[in-house]
A and B are shown apart, each in its own frame.
Chain A
């Protein structure tokens, strides 16, 4: 696999980007064939952070396996945990209390905001602007503090359990979230002022990384990557889970098919997340936060599939049960893997300098791709 930096007979140059490269945001290895400065072939080489999470899950009980999914897409750990908890609850056929549903959706949307903020900062940093990174982290820190107070952790929470959530929300939670929303609304205008409105940034992002609607569907792209090409694929809207059917929000669609459209989808999604949080924060019902479940969970024999919308796209959890206390097989359909497969199609024919911009806007999280 490891080809040396070398020129072949056609005058093409093969270079390695990664596994240790600041623009890949992790241990992703790309083999790029260049003709001059133009990318003619791109081949991702995976496996540097493979921890065999799916195999590990086969030896863990249905309560225990949820914590491993926080380590897949670590920026949307709550949403990953949600997918697994939903799968187990679907198989057990239990209803979870409404309070738990509200807490889950609120936490998921806060996670989505935090994830998009980190993406925004990291992407601007890739393109050479360092200050947005610090501004994004400033707001993200507020969310992390809220999470820390209620869940006890900042990144790998493991807060959702089959039947509800692990703890009730902290007494300060509602007030702090409201304060954050007020703060964030004033700060998101700065995001637009600093980066979105910048003509240099727009010129760099427009008309690169083009993927048409048909190609986006055939590559299996989901999330903002596909919605930037006009594919309606928001699981929250099309196949509502939890209480998303009671919430008013718009599915953000852009039709530019280029990197700038995908950028705009993510920025607009932040506004929608704020809208969802605003609707729910005052209406958290009283009651139990966890349904009564048996100490040892046994699922009936069968196959169960659930999907949720993470910050990067559709996460599917496929559980095969043989009636025991541990799953027979678990498969995660991670959004990053499919989005990465479309990278070659997006980059081909563009300059190598654009690769960083296209990859930055894909928002790749490598542990999610490699599991």
Chain B
């Protein structure tokens, strides 16, 4: 198809300008702030150069939050891949009620995150939660446990809650990949005697490359950005075990009011994510032939 340079840019530019303005101007402000020592919003501090960066990189809080973010991304990737594939492969079969199921499985994604928090705070409550009482009834637990009381349990519970919210959405995107696979390939492989596990690894999975590329990129960035579920349930605790980088930035800025430090954190975090995105796109982008 012939290229339409000027008109093409004309149609894209309103969105591009909107996004650039709302991303680049704030990033510039943050960068400027990170070179000064501003403590209170609205005041101007003194110029400190890269001092903020040096100080921050040596802080154990920063290291702790970075590691938590890394575990958070990995944990969510594993859980969400498992749930999303289970849902997608299940819905891909024919069964009564399939249509309704495919439409409504995404319920956990369309409700406000605050409602997700309410649901799981109630269900996992140590005094009156249904999960505790069921686990005790079937003999898996002797007495009610606090799912958010110890560092590991809190972290794991949050990963599961977040996966509960996102997996159905990811499942639908995987389904889109499944739908685009030619049915004849399955029939042909059946003739050759392949079972459904072999079909999954030799037909389904390789054909999902471009879906998995988008999910790998966007999914990682989206789960990195998760703030509200963690903040509203554990506030980053117990003992900072669930403080990921987004929570650290929020805390630094809006509970400790160290604006310059928070800006420095934001800049470092953006650089990390940008680096990740570039490496990911360069190494994993599927070759397009259109």
A complexed with B: no
Residues of A within 8 A of B (CB): none
